[in-house]
Amino acid sequence: MIVAILNCDEKWGIGKKNDLLFHLPLDMKFFRETTSGHTVAMGENTLLSFPGGKPLKNRTNIVLSADVTHNYEGVINVHTFDDFLAEIQKYSRKDRVYIIGGASIYRQMIPYCREVKLTKVHKDGGAEVFIPNLDEMDNFVVISESEPIMDGDIEIRFVTYGNKKPKRIRLKKNNEELSTTGDKR
């Protein structure tokens, strides 16, 4: 199963200056506990936004960059969107794959996600990068929503959206072969 996980402000903003908008310890804990032991897939900027540009521990990290010279230690490096999809498909057959950003990856991958775990922050964070408004997308419906919770001095809500019609990953022949070989290893 492919699931996106993220937080956004009241304008659907998710980041600025290649960093998060807010410091949210409760939401961080939720993210860590939800994704630990699973696979996470991200764009290069998101990897570089982590402390020391290091991958997330206790998780298989898939990282997309179009630059073939950008290869990071401790991650599965992919350089085309098709290869990114192939790795996500391969891992999603046996595990949950969490799409963890950033904005460009959410835009491309949200249609493939069965669920979006969205922490809504009741504040304007002055964002520079945004995700699409899920409330305006026909496919997406709210399947659960928490009461408002204080995370430090910021009010948040944990919301899960379900995608009524997730897009299927369709790979070119080479990727299919790559993915099948991977599964048999």
Ligand X SMILES: NC(=O)c1ccc[n+]([C@@H]2O[C@H](COP(=O)([O-])OP(=O)(O)OC[C@H]3O[C@@H](n4cnc5c(N)ncnc54)[C@H](OP(=O)(O)O)[C@@H]3O)[C@@H](O)[C@H]2O)c1
Which spans of this chain sit near ligand X (rule: CB under 6 A)? 6-7, 14-15, 18-20, 42-46, 49, 64-67, 70, 81, 100-105, 108, 129
Q: Which is nearer to ligand X, 124 or 183 (CB)?
A: 124
Q: Which is nearer to ligand X, 75 or 129 (CB)?
A: 129
Q: Nearest distance from residue 173's CB to ligand X, in Å?
A: 19
Residues whose CB falls within 8 Å of the CB of residue 1, separated by 6 or more in sequence, listed in order: 92, 96, 97, 114, 115
d(CA 72, CA 44): 10
125, 182, 113, 123: which is closest to 150 by C-alpha?
A: 123
Residue 25 or 185 with smaller CB distance to ligand X: 25
CB of 114 to ligand X, least distance (A): 18
Q: Residue number with the shortest CB distance to ligand X?
A: 102
